[in-house]
Amino acid sequence: MPIVEAHILEGYSPTEKSRLTTALTDAIRFVVPAPDEAITVMLHEYPSEAYARGGQHRKPAPALPDPTQIVRAYLAAMEARDLDTAKTTLGVGFQMVFPGTRPMTELSELIDWSKGRYRFVKKTYDGFDALHSGGVAVVYARGTLYGEWMDGTPFEGIRFIDRFEIARDKIQRQDVWNDMAEVRAQ
Amino acid sequence: MPIVEAHILEGYSPTEKSRLTTALTDAIRFVVPAPDEAITVMLHEYPSEAYARGGQHRKPAPALPDPTQIVRAYLAAMEARDLDTAKTTLGVGFQMVFPGTRPMTELSELIDWSKGRYRFVKKTYDGFDALHSGGVAVVYARGTLYGEWMDGTPFEGIRFIDRFEIARDKIQRQDVWNDMAEVRAQ
Amino acid sequence: MPIVEAHILEGYSPTEKSRLTTALTDAIRFVVPAPDEAITVMLHEYPSEAYARGGQHRKPAPALPDPTQIVRAYLAAMEARDLDTAKTTLGVGFQMVFPGTRPMTELSELIDWSKGRYRFVKKTYDGFDALHSGGVAVVYARGTLYGEWMDGTPFEGIRFIDRFEIARDKIQRQDVWNDMAEVRAQ
Amino acid sequence: MPIVEAHILEGYSPTEKSRLTTALTDAIRFVVPAPDEAITVMLHEYPSEAYARGGQHRKPAPALPDPTQIVRAYLAAMEARDLDTAKTTLGVGFQMVFPGTRPMTELSELIDWSKGRYRFVKKTYDGFDALHSGGVAVVYARGTLYGEWMDGTPFEGIRFIDRFEIARDKIQRQDVWNDMAEVRAQ
Amino acid sequence: MPIVEAHILEGYSPTEKSRLTTALTDAIRFVVPAPDEAITVMLHEYPSEAYARGGQHRKPAPALPDPTQIVRAYLAAMEARDLDTAKTTLGVGFQMVFPGTRPMTELSELIDWSKGRYRFVKKTYDGFDALHSGGVAVVYARGTLYGEWMDGTPFEGIRFIDRFEIARDKIQRQDVWNDMAEVRAQ
Amino acid sequence: MPIVEAHILEGYSPTEKSRLTTALTDAIRFVVPAPDEAITVMLHEYPSEAYARGGQHRKPAPALPDPTQIVRAYLAAMEARDLDTAKTTLGVGFQMVFPGTRPMTELSELIDWSKGRYRFVKKTYDGFDALHSGGVAVVYARGTLYGEWMDGTPFEGIRFIDRFEIARDKIQRQDVWNDMAEVRAQ
């Protein structure tokens, strides 16, 4: 039954407002087992002149980009080995950890590291999860890998999960887990 | 600046209301880059007699349990090899997938599978993420493993991540990734 | 989908609040074809100290009595020929019009008028409708009459409808239509 | 003092919104004896993109037509013996009951029935009452009849009341009471 | 932390709405020691068709003019000895009291009274305070006077304070205090 | 017509809430010429557990004391020459300016200064005005003085006005104007 009213400044796009109503609906559903039909979210939008904090009229902050879209763009660029595009999605101080690696800060390190491991790898996605937590957006991407080992043998169905932290519209951190070593050991 | 009003029936505990205000604050922060101080959440609570849907007064649905607490209880019981307690947290049709395993449905299968792998393993947690997504609560637990291999050699610092799906107050699914095979292969 | 919030002073009973949520739900349904489940009514109740009009704190006006209950009490008393009780429900200046009568102001007039018409009459109710209109509560009672004619012949199933106006907690006017003359003429 | 806020989707006409504010005002007045000046109704209107139920954006349901207007159109057409127009206001399964008749379903039955009773009849209205009750709109029309008996004698001032049920924008049922038989018997 | 929602009819200018949000912010600050940043004011604006009091749609009353602007215009005109302009700001029944004078009703009286006191006087403002109190707007202007005594000696830094009452958009009363006599006596 | 809702934390006394509803009513009246009866103020009060800013539950700040009461207490103590009590109402850095004086910081300076001017003086109040402005509460007290000159001659009806600034619950500044010199010069 919960009903949510959110008061925001005018200026958000329909898509941004949909993201907001969805996030608020999920927030309620996280705690209250109401049927979806019973959860209503309404956005009150105020022009700047009708809204004041501390006596000052305010401008709306631009909405945060959808972090899942940022992650998808990064993953697509990496799969295409388009490092220039991939780099545009990374923040200063970006770090990534892959199975068995130390933290790497350059995409080229990753490329070098992977060279001895497989000829190529591609991802099939089972799902994404995204949330805000402790000041950053966290995105999980999971699914399976397919590609070719160094000897040309194909592989597929190897489970993976990536965890990303996004802040200031850029990816700050990537952590990767997968079953490659497990599969190779078999 | 966003301000959120949620209208709920009376009867939730202070802890449950805190979970709700936190979830709503995070929902806003997921989309709007407002400073935390500028996000206010207010809960209007109604006695049943002051709330009607479809002309009928309503009782509040009991709050969902905190899924992270369910996951922590399960993981603690498993670490202590207290399978009876662990089972109380699992739903009918529970499935788990570990690196290199097929889906298992019984905790005893897991125990058997692990017997040839290590003498014992324990977890150090780096963090938990939890969200509602598509009708289920999703909880991620991540950190590092320490323990002893079959030959008595100790190990530590092996990265892991677990993903849980919780519905109807029970864990329905567990997916596990870690670097054990990677480490053993080195 | 409409959601209604009504702001009222504290002090109304659960029954009075139910009457209010029902009346507001019906008001919405009169204009908007929403499914009942999609209409939510919430009452905000304020203690006097938290509510001011014109800078003055206010006390809640006692709720109006349910006019249908007043009408039922009057009709029951009349059927039992308990004129003293019936009179307590009538306002100063009460008028009633029956088929073929001029306006009557005394219940004894009605009794006299009916004496030549039937030995007794009782009512079976098909339904009541009640609403506020133009400053008064209007109640309709409809159903069928049964009883005995002057010659002892029983009758039944004679349609009737009564219309009442209630103001200042008293019945101010009663208008009666029925098929008695139609039936007698057959 | 009550203040009512109704939250609706954008798209209703000024007339429809007036019907809604009036219905809500009357709903309050049905229970609370506040002076009219002290009852305020405010409509919050949301574009579809700012409103979500169950996480889905919604379109406003078209407003229900004013049932009193439907009844007036039907009564005017019947008085003018314009049966084709009158039929457009009737729902499938329409029934009508007149004094002394069995339920009729065709307007032509009514015309036939009335042929032996009067040359013509017309209505002067004293008032209409309309409300939503139990899933249907109910409209009462009351006043007096005038016309000519079969022998050319004029009559006037004969009380009548009609009760209509409207659902799915059509009249489903008409019940009529009047003093014709009473007057003829005198 | 307080959050204020004001519900008003559409039609006020941005400046008028700013005056309203400022006045409401100050009203909160008068009672609650919240940091300014924690006080939010939001204006809900309703078109006439979405707002009804006593069942009647309403037009917004034109905003009251800023009383401080009226006082500033009056003081500027008086300083420039532009009595015609000054008079346009005065209400019927205007009264003014200066140090040692009886109530005067005509600006020319004031000019005559001042003729024996100084050649000219001008004002430097330290500040204005304005509020609504008991049905009128009250404006205080304070600062120091400079000018020339009758003998040509200049003076400056003489403290003054003026109190104005404004009603029906006009100044109804002016009360003046200053240290002129004190300074002359020294 | 304006309606004001203020959302505050629970814990304010009825008197404090009355001060708040009055201040908000006056704020509206400062800008909108609505009849007093048409201005409604409603306070939503939240227990700490139902209110969160930045995800943190909050405690209500104690209400500011009524600055007019502080000023009245100070003026009464000064009139009674009870300097100890008067001092309790003064802030660190308190300053006062009287006609013809430099800023004084000690009440004893004021007493010394007045010794050569009159035997005693008392105040009759015509009114108080109070408002929040620029971070401080401002209180005006005005009326007339009566007492005895040094030679025993009584005086009365001498106009005065005092302006006070109150911050952190203490009087920070007092500015006094009156017609004493004017009267003595006559």
Helices marked H in chain B — which ranges? Answer: 14-31, 67-79, 83-87, 107-115, 180-185
The 10s digit of each residue's pLDDT in D44-86 is: 999 999 999 989 998 998 999 999 999 999 999 999 999 999 9
Per-residue model confidence as pLDDT tens digits over B32-68? 998 888 899 999 999 999 999 989 999 998 999 999 9
On the question of pLDDT at F1 being above 80, the answer is no
Residues A70, A89 contacting (CB under 8 angstroms): yes
B3 touches chain E (CB under 8 A): yes
Domains by residue range for chain A, with CATH: 3-57 (3.30.429.10), 67-185 (3.10.450.50)
Cβ neighbours of B52 in C, within 8 Å = 18, 21-22, 25, 40-41
Q: Which pLDDT score is estimated for C41?
A: 97
Flag whether B touches E (3+ CB pairs, 8 A cutoff): yes
- What the block records as the tokens of D111 is 């015309």
Beta bridge partners of E163: E140, E175
Asked if C64 and D31 touch (Cβ cutoff 8 Å), the reply is yes
Task: Using CB atoms, pick whichever of F51, F132, F185 lies closest to residue E26.
Answer: F132
- pLDDT tops 80 at residue F8: yes
Which pLDDT score, from 0 to 100, does residue E104 have? 96
- Segment E130-154, tens digit of pLDDT: 999 988 999 999 999 999 999 999 9
Of all residues in chain C, the one with the smallest CA distance to F11 is: C50
C186 pLDDT more than 90: no
Q: Calculate the CA F93 to chain-centre distance.
A: 17
Encode pLDDT of B79-124 as tens digits: 999 999 999 999 999 999 999 899 999 999 998 988 888 999 999 9
| D71-to-D24, D118, D168 alpha-carbon distances in Å | 22, 23, 14
Give the model's pLDDT for residue F185.
82
Please write the tens of the pLDDT for every residue from F56-91.
999 998 999 999 999 999 999 999 999 999 999 999
pLDDT at residue number D123: 96
pLDDT per residue as tens digits for the range A82-104: 999 999 999 999 999 999 889 99
Substitution target in A42, A131, A163, A168 with the highest count of B β-carbons within 10 Å is: A131
pLDDT at A35: 84
**Whose CA is closest to D21, among F70, E4, C28, A170?**
C28
pLDDT class of A125 with cuts at 50, 70, 90: very high
For residue A185, the model assigns a pLDDT of: 82
Give the whole-number percent of chain D exceeding pLDDT 90: 85
Q: What ipTM is given for this predicted complex?
A: 0.95
The percentage of chain E sitting over the pLDDT mark of 70, rounded to a whole number, equals 99
Q: Does the beta-carbon distance from E3 to B37 stay under 8 Å?
A: no
pLDDT of residue C6: 97
| C20 inside 8 A of chain B by CB | no
Query: Hey, how many other C-beta atoms are within 10 angstroms of the C-beta on B151?
Result: 7
- Pairing between β-strand B118-133 and β-strand F154-167 as defined by DSSP bridges: unpaired
Q: How far is F30 from chain C (nearest CA, A)?
A: 13
Beta-ladder partners of D108? none
Contact C40 B46 (CB under 8 A): no
Find where tokens 């139920």 sit.
D53
Inter-residue contact A83 to A107 (CB < 8 Å): yes
Asked if B40 has any chain F CB less than 8 Å from its own CB, the reply is: yes
Touch criterion met for B and D (3+ Cβ pairs within 8 Å): no
Q: Which two tokens stand for residue F61?
A: 């700040």
The whole-angstrom separation of Cα A21 and Cα B52 is: 23
Q: Which candidate from F44, F49, F53 shows the least CB-CB separation from B40?
A: F53
Report the gap between the CA of F181 and the closest CA in chain E (Å).
5
Q: Please tell me the distance from the alpha carbon of residue A63 to that of residue A137, in angstroms, as a whole number.
A: 13
- Are F44 and C44 in contact by the 8 Å Cβ rule? The answer is yes
The pLDDT confidence band at residue D184, using thresholds 50, 70 and 90, is: confident
Q: d(Cα D90, Cα E83) in Å, to the nearest integer?
A: 75
Judged by CB atoms closer than 8 Å, whether chains meet at A55 and E22 is answered as yes
- Residue A177 forms beta bridges with which residues? A161
Nearest to B21 among F7, F44, F52 (CB): F52
The answer to whether D138 touches D60, Cβ cutoff 8 Å, is no
pLDDT beyond 80 at C106: yes
In this prediction, residue A36 carries a pLDDT of: 82
Closest partner CB to D132 (pick from C29, C38, C132): C29
Would you call B40 and F51 a contact, using CB atoms and an 8 Å cutoff? yes
B127 DSSP β-pair partners: B142
Chain D residues near residue F40 by CB distance under 8 angstroms: 1, 3, 40
Chain E nearest-CA distance from B6, in A, is: 15
**Alpha-carbon gap, residue A93 to A73, rounded angstroms:** 19
Residues 6+ apart with CB under 8 A from C15: none
What is the reported pLDDT for E36?
Answer: 82
Query: Is B18's CB within 8 Å of F54's CB?
Result: no
Q: Count the helices and strands in chain E (H runs, E runs).
A: 5, 9
Predicted pLDDT of residue E163 = 98
Residue pair E40/D32 in contact (Cβ under 8 Å)? The answer is no
Average pLDDT score over chain A: 94
* E17/A contact by beta carbon, under 8 A: yes
Q: List chain E residues with CB under 8 Å of A50.
A: 17, 21, 42-45
Distance from CA of F22 to the nearest CA of B (A): 24
Is A117 an interface residue toward B (CB < 8 Å)? Answer: no
Is the torsion defined by CA of C111, C114, C120, C124 positive or negative? negative
Integer Cα distance of E159 and E176 in angstroms: 11
Nearest to B79 by CA among B170, B139, B131, B143: B143
C116 touches chain F (CB under 8 A): no
Q: What pLDDT shows up at residue E42?
A: 97
Q: Does E56 touch chain F (CB under 8 A)?
A: no
Nearest C-alpha neighbor of E13 from the set E1, E21, E5, E25: E21
Residue E100's pLDDT is what?
Answer: 87
E23 to chain F, closest Cα gap in Å: 5
| Cβ–Cβ contact C38 with B under 8 A | yes
Pairing of strands E3-9, D170-178: unpaired
pTM score: 0.94
Determine, for residues B43 and F46 on separate chains, whether the beta-carbon distance falls below 8 Å: yes
Q: Quick check: D163 and D64 in contact, CB under 8 A?
A: no
* Chain D residues within an 8 Å CB radius of F1: 40
